[in-house]
Amino acid sequence: MKNTMIINNHTAIIVFDPELEMFRGEFVNLNGSADFYASSVQELHREGEVSLNTFLEVCKEQGIEPYKHYSGKFVTRISPDLHERITILAAAEGVSLNQWVQKSLEHEAMDETNYLLHNRNNAQRLLGSISQLEAGKSQ
């Protein structure tokens, strides 16, 4: 993944702060903020470990669950046009809209190498589905 770093089995998002001329890291999937700054990759690892350990210690002391829990449900807003298009694509593949969206998100979440290979195959299948839909509309 781009702009991520794994520190003690925890994922942090890394960005460059041009005002400070330093890298900033922030752990994701925590029930609070644990961020850190550094000038190099080595320092990011070291400062990230300190930040994460401090966060986890404070959570333990205060009896706070440190990790976010996910229900597997979320709401997203999209344009009516996109809603219509993906409903048609899902129907063309013979799956529910929910299944189609889940499959699409899984593809986006794959590592980059697998994503690129998989995306080529999906594009070919999608073009075939669109061609079938357009042929059906012209009849």
Residue with tokens 């409903």: 87
pTM of the model: 0.64
- Residue 11: which of 31, 25, 32 has the closest Cα? 25
Beta bridge partners of 38: 23
Q: Walk along the chain (139 residues) and give the pLDDT tens digit of each residue.
A: 578 899 999 999 999 999 999 999 999 999 999 999 999 999 999 999 999 999 999 999 999 999 999 999 999 999 999 999 999 999 999 999 999 999 998 888 876 545 445 544 555 565 566 666 667 766 5
Angle of CA points 124, 126, 130, to nearest 5°: 120
Contacts of 51-59 with C-beta under 8 Å, sequence gap 24+, read: 51/25, 51/27, 52/7, 52/8, 52/10, 52/27, 55/27, 55/30, 59/31, 59/32
